[in-house]
Structure 1
Amino acid sequence: MDETELSKSHTTWTLAMPNAPQPSTFDVACSIRKWAVEHGIMRPVAGALEASINATATAIKASTDFESMMRQKELLSIAFNEASRTIYLYTKRKVTGKDLKTLPSSILNCGIAYPQGVVEEIGKNNQIAHGAAASMILAGGANRYACGSSISPGNSHSAGTLGALVVDAAGVIHGLSNNHVTGLCNHSQVGLPILAPGVLDVGPGGVNPFTLGFHKTVLDMAIGTQGNVDVSRNSDAAIFEIFQTANVSSSQGGVYDTPTSIVDPLDGMVVEKVGRTTGHTRGKIVGQELMPVEISYSAPNFGFQGRILFENVWVIHGENVPFGQPGDSGSLIVQIDGGGLRHAVGLLFAGGTDSLGPENQRTFFLPIRPILEKLQVSLLGGHNV
């Protein structure tokens, strides 16, 4: 690819070597990033991560107009969809219709989209529930608290989502959510009561608050750059031991039961979830972030604020409405296969703006398989449904 020249023609850049093998969308995304880093448009990731990703990439040869535009609009991140051969160049400032007339619509046979979008800070603002924050399921003649409902640590005026019930090797049942929901960004003490509904959602006419369980453990969420911390270990997840298993159901808000099988995410996969804020929503996986995503977290009550890098982050657009909103963090994301069976895919943990998404929103998730493996638990279905 060293001898490859990119020529701009009708806002399309193509390879001048017709017999060269077509590069993957990932390869092209790496070539764009390498160019952006070399020209000071994007800052490199510290440590060896940048070099490892771009080791085999050759920087694109871009026009001065493209360089000027990406600098002016502030290119923030790159995501890619291998199935549709689409690359998303997320910018801080909006790329207008007039701008698009001078920008390439394709690079190396990959379609290029220019959404405006930033990553939202977690914990900065209190969430507001759009619908029912908590669901009680009638099963076996008793009301059970459902997954997809509001939870929080007992000492935090907040609310997130009970994603699923999980079980460890000893058969002990736990609740699964995000570290920043029940683990308070590493600040929950072991044994801290986890309330249902979350403190933020306690009010007249709602579910009477009760202790659903007690905080058990979190996965690493270390502040710092690659080389100082192992970014690949970062994962926003936590579990708490269920206090009285008769009080909780594996049903996802009464819509469907928690699946126990797992599939890895794929571009274009249609997914759904039940969450504390937006309830039951459907969407589609639009791509995967090329580089680690930096998420800003704050837990003001504990004097915590920091930026944490996450690898293997995937992006979802909702179906007509946002797939998730603040307070949906911790929701279990599932997929329905061709036979109508559901499989777990990921854990919702963050979001951001996106001019291509409904209501200018996108949702971030982490694959569920490595989360369960690190926690040494399995998904539990069929419990009090």
Structure 2
Amino acid sequence: MLIDSARELKARLSARLAEGLPAVTASGLGGRLWTRPAIGLAPVAPGRVHLAIRVVTPDDARILLTGLDETVRREVDVRVTGPILPHSSSPTRLRQPTRPLVPGLSVAHPSVSAGTLGGFVRLGGRLAVLSNNHVLAAADAGAVGDAVLQPGPADGGAPGDRVATLAAVAPLAGSGNRVDAAVATLDEGVTAEPGGYPGGPLAATVPDALEVEPDEDVEKVGRTTGHTRGRVSAVEVDGVAVQYDDGVHVFDDQIEIEGLAGPFSAGGDSGSVIWRSADRAPVALLFAGSSTGGTHGAGLTFAHPLSAVLAVLGVEWVAS
């Protein structure tokens, strides 16, 4: 169907969910109630898309699609993902103490296992590392002023490996989240190379979320899987339910990515900045993924539009 028609159908189904469809118990979440599928747009041809529906169990899709006529049902792309989890927990080099700091390194709050240093931003004139809330701020359990270690504790990081100070956090809510993000300003004497991505610096301009198109090739470098390539498989995905330690947090307006030949990401890659292969524009911040689903059955990765992350945190992207 045409993109505008798909958006109208997405809005209709989202309205049905808001009216209160019965909650579904997802066996993959240990009996927790998983209340809604994630819904976005998946490309099928130039200018045409299917409605992308991502569910934890097949029963979730059955409930959502009940009552839709067959013509509409032929225009939906339903995939069972299993539970979606935050990707915090490689290539050995990325897990070692490294100075100057570069994107892709293991990094974390002292109470977190390990995630990824995604890139660098400027906050109040100071250079800062960018990653997820659940990596740098322990999913709201940390406080501004806490230490950030490189490498993260899971990779041997100790108090002597402090490199930055938690400075700004986007808090997590039960629903309606846009981003899981935080930044930490570099401590005195800690050096960094913001342009140290595979292939060199990324572009200095961050595209608006609406400029990210389905079917674009993208790349990332992360603590666990290193440098990987993937393809945007859906955009404007609402209702992405992610199982954190403290419960389920639901995210709207997300980007879905599949690996080209295997998993695009794995646990520990949370916080990676994702860039577009064609022009090296930084487009997204990775935060979660599933272990199943996708064309190759290797799982799906979910990420926030980077423009939304920068706006929420009030920071400026630093390319080099």
Question: Is TM more than 0.5 here?
Answer: yes
Whether 1:379 and 2:317 are equivalent positions in the alignment is yes
Q: Which residue of 1 aligns with 2:263?
A: 322
Once the two structures are TM-superposed, the CA of residue 211 in structure 1 deviates from its matched residue by 1.5
Whether 1:312 and 2:253 are equivalent positions in the alignment is yes
Q: Which residue of 1 aligns with 2:133?
A: 179
Aligned 8 A contact 2:42 2:233 in 1: yes
Secondary structure of 1:27's counterpart equals helix
Aligned 8 A contact 2:37 2:239 in 1: no
Once the two structures are TM-superposed, the CA of residue 240 in structure 1 deviates from its matched residue by 0.5
Aligned 8 A contact 2:38 2:241 in 1: no
1:77–1:176 distance in 2 versus 1, CA, 3 Å:
closer
Distance 2:137 2:297 in 1: 30
Whether 1:115 and 2:70 are equivalent positions in the alignment is no
Q: Which residue of 1 aligns with 2:117?
A: 162
Secondary structure of 1:259's counterpart equals coil
Distance 2:96 2:7 in 1: 41
Q: Which residue of 2 aligns with 1:222?
A: 173
Q: TM-score, normalised by structure 2?
A: 0.79
Q: Counterparts in 2 of 1:106-145, with a 5 A limit?
A: 107-108=71-72, 111-122=75-86, 127=89, 129=90, 132-134=93-95, 143-145=99-101
Distance 2:23 2:236 in 1: 15
Once the two structures are TM-superposed, the CA of residue 26 in structure 1 deviates from its matched residue by 1.6
Whether 1:149 and 2:93 are equivalent positions in the alignment is no
Q: Kindly, what percent of the aligned residue pairs are identical?
A: 25
Aligned 8 A contact 1:196 1:210 in 2: yes
What do the CA deviations read for 1:284-314 (whole angstroms, capped 9, x no partner)?
111135433222211xxxxxx1322222111
Distance 2:36 2:252 in 1: 19
1:371–1:35 distance in 2 versus 1, CA, 3 Å:
closer
Matched length: 296
Letter in 2 for 1:152: A
1:292–1:195 distance in 2 versus 1, CA, 3 Å:
same
Distance 2:156 2:109 in 1: 13
1:261–1:37 distance in 2 versus 1, CA, 3 Å:
closer
Letter in 1 for 2:305: P
1:42–1:157 distance in 2 versus 1, CA, 3 Å:
closer
RMSD: 3.4
Q: Which residue of 1 aligns with 2:287?
A: 349
What do the CA deviations read for 1:170-203 (whole angstroms, capped 9, x no partner)?
4211111100000111121222111111110128
Secondary structure of 1:26's counterpart equals helix
Secondary structure of 1:221's counterpart equals coil
Moved over 6 A (4+): 35-39
What do the CA deviations read for 1:150-171 (whole angstroms, capped 9, x no partner)?
00113x2500001111113x42
Once the two structures are TM-superposed, the CA of residue 336 in structure 1 deviates from its matched residue by 3.3
Distance 2:3 2:286 in 1: 34
Once the two structures are TM-superposed, the CA of residue 250 in structure 1 deviates from its matched residue by 1.0
Once the two structures are TM-superposed, the CA of residue 253 in structure 1 deviates from its matched residue by 4.6
1:210 to 161, 175, 188: 161
Q: Which residue of 1 aligns with 2:40?
A: 79
Distance 2:113 2:3 in 1: 49
1:26–1:196 distance in 2 versus 1, CA, 3 Å:
same
1:318–1:38 distance in 2 versus 1, CA, 3 Å:
same
Once the two structures are TM-superposed, the CA of residue 110 in structure 1 deviates from its matched residue by 6.1
Distance 2:159 2:48 in 1: 48
Distance 2:40 2:292 in 1: 12
Q: Which residue of 2 aligns with 1:201?
A: 155
Letter in 2 for 1:162: L
Whether 1:332 and 2:273 are equivalent positions in the alignment is yes
Q: Which residue of 1 aligns with 2:30?
A: none
Aligned 8 A contact 1:190 1:216 in 2: yes
Secondary structure of 2:281's counterpart equals strand
Letter in 1 for 2:268: G
Q: What stretches of structure 1 of length at least 5 have no aligned partner?
A: 1-13, 15-20, 44-73, 96-103, 138-142, 226-230, 299-304
Distance 1:245 1:335 in 2: 32
